[in-house]
Structure 1
Amino acid sequence: MIRLIDHVNIATDKLEETRDFFVEVLGLEEGPRPDFGFEGHWLYAAGRPIVHLQKARGPVVPSRESVLNHAAFEVGDLDALAAQLDAHGVAYRMIEMPGAPVRQIFLEDPNGVMVELNSPRPL
């Protein structure tokens, strides 16, 4: 039985730009990656490689044009992350989830992958 999501993989023709976005803007850390024989990066949070990047073999489309719509991550301080997004000029939408103690930010990475950031809010 599935217990949790282990990682997401993004195939991109903007490999370095995507790595920089997830590291410099969203705060992941680049770490070890096996030599698969093709370009890529593994990005870590709390010691786990949760975002895998690989060089795309062909054209890619934004997630809004794909059956897999978005990737979601839990964050500790949504306000600090919003300030980081503002500092980097990244457009986003912040909402309070109706009926749940969660605030969310939605944004797109450099490839048009929709990213959801969730943070608990006090009741």
Structure 2
Amino acid sequence: MIDYEGIHHVSLVIRDLERSKAFYTEVLGLKELERPPFDFEGAWFAVAEGGQQLHLIVHQGQTLRDGKIDSRDGHLALRVSSYEGTRKWLEEKGIHCDARPHAKAGFPQIYILDPDCNIIELNAAVYDG
């Protein structure tokens, strides 16, 4: 049996490093971490406390997404403390979102796309709107 301690990191493929770094720091508010000197471009970010990380990897290959939000496609889900505060922040930043305050999942969800059409779910424990 495997004894898990948690998720260390999730990696997403991106095409434009500077554009993506701006999105993940300025829109999502993640803190960039120091990254080893790999022979390919990328960036690492801290996600909350506890050592969880998001790694961005520059790769020019194809993706399966066409710019539409499909919550059944592969995605990164991050828990936020305030659903309504997050929704308002995204609105202020001009980010299109698929807001689901009363989602069938049993907790409120917001889906957005990053600049490379990676799907990000932002969810909260309760609806606070």
TM-score bracket relative to the smaller structure: 0.7 to 0.9
2:121 to 113, 116, 122: 116
Q: Is the 8 A contact 2:42 2:55 kept in 1?
A: yes
Q: How far did residue 91 of structure 1 move? A: 0.4
Q: Does 1:55 align with 2:58?
A: yes
Moved over 6 A (4+): none
| Whole-angstrom distance in 2 between the partners of 1:55 and 1:2 | 32
1:59-108: per-residue Cα shift (whole Å, max 9, x none)? Answer: 4442879x9621111111222211221111110011122372x1110111
2:46 to 36, 44, 47: 44
Could you list the runs of 5+ residues in structure 2 that have no partner in the other structure? Answer: none
> CA 1:99 to 1:90, structure 2 compared with 1: closer, same or farther past 3 Å?
closer
Q: How far did residue 5 of structure 1 move? A: 2.8
Aligned pairs for 1:7-86 within 5 A: 7-47=9-49, 48-62=51-65, 69-86=74-91
Q: TM-score, normalised by structure 1?
A: 0.82
Q: TM-score, normalised by structure 2?
A: 0.79
Q: Once the two structures are aligned, what percentage of the paired residues are identical?
A: 29
Aligned residue pair count: 120
Q: Where is the strand percentage greater, Structure 1 or Structure 2?
A: 1
Q: Is the 8 A contact 1:31 1:43 kept in 2?
A: yes
Could you list the runs of 5+ residues in structure 1 that have no partner in the other structure? Answer: none
